[in-house]
Chains A and B, each alone.
Chain A
């Protein structure tokens, strides 16, 4: 047991991460470091491995990690079950949020919030406090009250589902949020609402990884770093100007360079 280091450790450190599905290698050696307070954008063409990276970080079992390591707040992330990662503060915003008929949003969120509190050794949240928290966080993303009384994502429109993801993020207050194409399928107003929600939750203690296909979202969630993922590797990193360069030159520019 070593004494707690005074040197600030990165929140997330990914070293040479390789992952495959059904024997096909998708991630071919990812390296990425994310510190508290940072916003990282990961861009790349379809099939480059963006969503796979998000899923592997969240613990999806269908992907087999074949190499490398991931350290999250000093712990070995890959050895943790998905629910432990979540309770430790990792949040995955789904590209395609799942509909769960029969499970009410209220019951779902109460279970999630209290499972995390139990894990952290905190008492369960009382009904009144919980409902107040729901109300506050719904307002943050303009989520219709009637939606919160329905089954999880059931019959929600595309935009409602995405707003619901950010609502859940607001409820769970993650340290590291990974937003997988949260902008896809959103009109400009919904995009602003969602981005606004993310910005208001942002502080010096937490970090966000925004995965997106288009530069558009980055007008509203301004990244500190932009990475370009291509064929399972990060082939270029830079600041937000890289996103503009990509938008201008298109992904062919990356393809030709690699």
Chain B
């Protein structure tokens, strides 16, 4: 059972799995999903799972994480645990519209698809495809290009369910939408969910996504999230990744912004095994503004690889990327930040910063900016640092009676704070600060329970 798979046959195994289950997949899904499957799988077959020979995956051999013989299902399995017993969000001030996905499938703690009084629609992707095919037809697979990335192709080949969020024109939501992705299984599991967020013109969405693993099995998630931000619309998106060391995550998000829209996309990685986050942004209309941020904390043998691609496709847009990492023990990390400024995208402002702290001599970080600029009237900057904690600051704190350990924590907390302070939801920001502090102190449990309740259960 635990014999590792051969890297060479991985691609054909996944392709075979598709053909074996194709009829069942097609019968269970709406035509919106089905219409893209054959071409997506053909693209997957041609490209194969990326390894380090792929320039975009230079620092991460994704094939490694596919080697575990995962169980894969094309319909939800009955869960032998009570999710309600295991998961409870303990931020009482965080009054949210809660959506649960368990192993990538919508979990019925609420109606499968609900229309709120202000017209906001929240629920399951599969159900949305049935009830609102015109919304999916307009947006599904429009931003996530499966021709360019095998992982997106694989997800598109098998996409069945995930989270669906729709904010109609001019609607501002009063409650934050919280999506909790739970991994909970009596066996090793491969999960793929497919999510869509549509924010129509002049509307606003505040979304918090929490990824948790609740059982001690190997997990591999390959998820794709597409987000459409209409004209003058606003997105505040915070993703919190907190899974155990045997939980690997491949996450691809695509943010498509129209004229004068504003988006913040913030990824906070507290814990996990191998994590690869792809964040693609397309600034498609003039005056759009994007902030893509990230903070990761890694130790032991963890590997966190962030890849960003900001496409300035219209003039007068602004993008700011700020990624930070703290690496302890033998952790490794990578950041690749690509900025494309197209010929017509004059008056572009594009900034990128990547700063990292290595706490040991064994930790490693690779950072690579890639700027492609085809317009001549632009301001672009990038900067990257990899270093240690400031010795002068350490000594200064010590001379005030603060012990080395505490001084390190203060300095690391300060380093991460720059990213956390941009989390717009205050109770969540406080909680994240707290979680990051605990994580830095080594108090955040590494067990399988949800971090939002782990103080009590571990």
Q: B398 near A102 (CB under 8 angstroms)? A: no
Residue B413 at the chain A interface, CB threshold 8 Å: yes
Q: B401 near A112 (CB under 8 angstroms)? A: yes
Contact A102-B403, Cβ < 8 Å, known A59-B398, A82-B398, A97-B396: no
Residue of A nearest to B414 (CB): A102
CB-CB under 8 A from B414, the residues of chain A are 100-103, 151
Q: A111 near B398 (CB under 8 angstroms)? A: no
Q: Measured between alpha carbons, how far is A91 from B397 in the docked complex, in Å?
A: 11
Q: B417 near A83 (CB under 8 angstroms)? A: no
Q: Among B392, B401, B406, B413, which residue has its beta carbon within 8 angstroms of that of A98?
A: B392
Residue B395 at the chain A interface, CB threshold 8 Å: yes
CB-CB under 8 A from A152, the residues of chain B are 396
Q: Mark A104-148, 1 if CB is under 8 A from B, else 0.
A: 000110011001100100000000000000000000000000000
CB-CB under 8 A from B395, the residues of chain A are 60-61, 82, 98
CB-CB under 8 A from A116, the residues of chain B are 401
Q: Measured between alpha carbons, how far is A86 from B407 in the docked complex, in Å?
A: 14
CB-CB under 8 A from B390, the residues of chain A are 98, 100
Q: Enumerate A28-57 residues with CB–CB distance to B below 8 Å.
A: none
Q: Measured between alpha carbons, how far is A91 from B401 in the docked complex, in Å?
A: 9
Q: A115 near B406 (CB under 8 angstroms)? A: yes
Q: Measured between alpha carbons, how far is A2 from B285 in the docked complex, in Å?
A: 82
Q: Mark B399-415, 1 if CB is under 8 A from A, else 0.
A: 11111101100110111
Residue of A nearest to B395 (CB): A60
Q: A83 near B413 (CB under 8 angstroms)? A: no
Residue B86 at the chain A interface, CB threshold 8 Å: no
Residue B91 at the chain A interface, CB threshold 8 Å: no
Contact A172-B410, Cβ < 8 Å, known A98-B392, A102-B415: no
Residue B393 at the chain A interface, CB threshold 8 Å: yes
CB-CB under 8 A from B410, the residues of chain A are 100, 103, 107-108, 111
Chain B interface main SS type: helix
Closest-CB distance, A170 to chain B (whole angstroms) = 13
Q: Among A82, A100, A107, A111, which residue has its beta carbon within 8 angstroms of that of B399?
A: A82
Interface centre among A87, A107, A111, A151 (most CB of B within 10 A): A111
Q: B400 near A94 (CB under 8 angstroms)? A: no
Q: Bin the interface of chain A by size.
A: 20 to 34
Residue of B nearest to A97 (CB): B396
CB-CB under 8 A from B396, the residues of chain A are 94, 97-98, 100, 152
Q: Mark B410-424, 1 if CB is under 8 A from A, else 0.
A: 110111011000000
Q: Measured between alpha carbons, how far is A94 from B395 in the docked complex, in Å?
A: 11
Q: Mark B256-267, 1 if CB is under 8 A from A, else 0.
A: 000000000000
Interface centre among A61, A98, A107 (most CB of B within 10 A): A98
Q: Measured between alpha carbons, how far is A23 from B415 in the docked complex, in Å?
A: 34
Q: A83 near B418 (CB under 8 angstroms)? A: no
Q: B411 near A86 (CB under 8 angstroms)? A: no
CB-CB under 8 A from A107, the residues of chain B are 410
Residue of A nearest to B410 (CB): A103
Q: B400 near A168 (CB under 8 angstroms)? A: yes
Q: A87 near B401 (CB under 8 angstroms)? A: yes
> Interface on B for A, CB 8 Å cutoff?
390, 392-393, 395-404, 406-407, 410-411, 413-415, 417-418
26 contacts between A and B (CB under 8 A): A59-B399, A81-B404, A82-B399, A83-B401, A83-B403, A83-B404, A86-B400, A87-B401, A97-B396, A98-B390, A98-B393, A100-B397, A100-B410, A100-B414, A102-B413, A102-B418, A103-B411, A111-B406, A112-B400, A112-B401, A112-B402, A115-B402, A115-B403, A116-B401, A119-B401, A172-B401
